[in-house]
A and B are shown apart, each in its own frame.
Chain A
Amino acid sequence: MYGAVVLAPLVCIMLSLCIGRFPLSFGDITRVLWSKAFAGGCIVPDSHMSIIWDIRLPRAILGALVGACLAVSGAAFQGLFRNPLVSSGILGVSSGAGFGAALGILIFNTPAAAYPFAFFFGTVAVFCSLLIGRVYNTTPAIMLVLGGVIVSSVFASLLSFAKYVADPYDQLPAIVFWLMGSLASARYRDIMIAGSPMLIGIAGLLAVRWQINVLSMGDKEAHALGLNTTRAKAIVILCATFATAGAVCVSGIIGWVGLVIPHIGRMLVGNDNKILLPVSMALGACFLVLVDDLGRVMTGVEIPLGILTALVGGPFFVYLLKKTKGGGW
């Protein structure tokens, strides 16, 4: 099981190296990777080298990371909030990041400024949700969800305002394009920068994945079972926020993955978060890499990821639902 969890995303990444407008065979791919690793990159044409090593590979790796992050934090949040309709953006990460990106583009006039602003405001949004949720001394899950809804709507308004004041020929298209989600600009630098919060988030969530089962029993029972609920919740929220904010700031807003991939995981392997979290992670990674491939080759121009995820995933989800009869889900 755990072997497949590691192997499947690797296979999808390899596959996506072969797919694209410039046709390359599997043999070309292996030669490029081989020469990069052992021969200093001198035995293959430069064009092959740059297409595979500088364009397709970072893009596939980033896609896998982003998909894994969104799916794993979605699964963790669904357990934490005991609600199957919750997604990775429930505490306002995505709307905060959306506003942050728009603000960055407004101030500095370049899409590159979107990254740090998106990450910062995504995190800020989650902390606002937590503060609202702490109106009472404890933090009941429903208050957190309410906090997330409030914060999301506030940031959505701020985003609309940013769009309203943006320069319609230059800044507005940049904002809209960012919001649709894309991996087109992926470089190794992005992986280096955004990769660390993503990897920290994933590692943290995987470490406490069995405790998410206990948390999903509700605060009172989880406490009676011996879990330090405050600490466990803090770890889950912090890690999920890191993972999602890291993902959103490089990819833009990609919906659907954090909501539905965990459910596909549940249909395949059941509800135990000990298995579900790694499986969701692998599914999310594979799904996003493959959908991104589709977006690259389907038409002459690239189709933004945020549009395709639901278009491709929706029918697939319905098919699985029929096939597995939901598995008690």
Chain B
Amino acid sequence: MALINVTNASFSYGSGDIFREISFSASPGELFCLLGPNGCGKTTLLDCMLGSLKLKAGDIRLDGTSIASMRPGELARQVAYVPQKHDRTFPYTVRDIVKMGRAAYIGLFGSPSRSDEEAADEALETVGIAHLRQRPYTQISGGESQLVMIARALAQATPIIIMDEPTAHLDFRHELVIMETVARLVREKGISIIMATHFPNHAFYFQNNGVATHVALLHEGSFLAAGAPDDILNEQNMERLYGVRTKLLTCDGYGAQTIKQIIPLGTV
């Protein structure tokens, strides 16, 4: 059964729908990639799933319960969030930041207990940045800081994590570090991840690495197409979605797997 069900969702900030009549679902251990040009409403859709914006029509259900009826604390035990760009303010230590992932389990007048601290340390280990735990998070690199955000989401111990362009502004290596971490979380921990991204090749990367991947192309407020990367990510759809001419390449990687990549050729 699907873990998260979005049915006929519509949203507008006033006049003119940002998106309308969108439906999709994601199951445990599945990665859902949301693709679309800048300003197509990806972030707005994610904000609705996080409960920070309210749908104009339609419904988002987690395990059958509508998120409109859930309190922030309840929702945060189901869905965690990795922001695209985190505004750093005070130089909290990395561990302090990850501990904040436990807020949903701590009352309004409480503070983290021993078990919350252990959960934070475990999340830091899982993501592989335990050595950074005492560093001020304003002094680490962009890639490391994104790993901190993922660790915080893990500390939240949710079945679903929503990521908004988690690799934006990262260098060649760190982009891959994040992708590998995300793939590992889905495969090994069975977490469902809903991810907005600008790069069609990210979807192929996950598919190439044995992650159950779904893709949806958000275009002018509705889904142009949705399904497996193989069926959806082709030259015609890329031209319709981005206005870009592309070439789909297939080659043999190491072992028996086939690697697919989309190469941009030029704008239309």
Q: A residues engaging B (CB < 8 A)?
A: 78-79, 82-84, 207-211, 213-214, 216-229, 231-232, 235, 266, 270-272, 274, 327-329
Contacts and interface: CB of A to CB of B under 8 A. Distances in A.
Contacts of A228: 71-73, 108
A221 B108 contact: no
Contacts of B100: 213-214, 217, 225
B78 to A, nearest CB: 10
A328 B91 contact: yes
Contacts of B138: 328
Given A228-B72, A235-B108, 11 more contacts: A82-B87, A223-B52, A223-B72, A225-B152, A226-B103, A227-B103, A266-B90, A271-B90, A272-B96, A329-B90, A329-B91
Contact of A210 (B71, B79, B104, B111): B111
A210 B112 CA distance: 8
Contacts of B72: 223, 226-229
Which are the 7 A-B pairs with shortest beta-carbon distances?
A226-B104, A226-B76, A224-B81, A210-B111, A328-B136, A328-B91, A271-B90
A208 B96 CA distance: 16
A222 to B, nearest CB: 8
Nearest to B86: A221
Contacts of A214: 100, 103
B91 A221 contact: no
B83 to A, nearest CB: 6
B74 to A, nearest CB: 8
Nearest to B106: A210
Contacts of A226: 72-73, 75-77, 103-105, 156
8 contacts: A208-B109, A214-B100, A218-B87, A219-B52, A222-B103, A228-B71, A229-B72, A329-B91
- Give the contact-size bracket for chain B: 35 or more
B50 interface: yes
B92 interface: yes
Nearest to B107: A211
B52 A207 contact: no
B117 to A, nearest CB: 12
B120 to A, nearest CB: 13
Nearest to A235: B108
B103 A271 contact: no
B51 interface: yes
B121 interface: no
B109 A225 contact: no
A209 B73 CA distance: 18
A224 B75 CA distance: 8
A82 B80 CA distance: 22
B253 interface: no
A224 B111 contact: no
Contacts of A220: 47, 50, 52, 81, 83
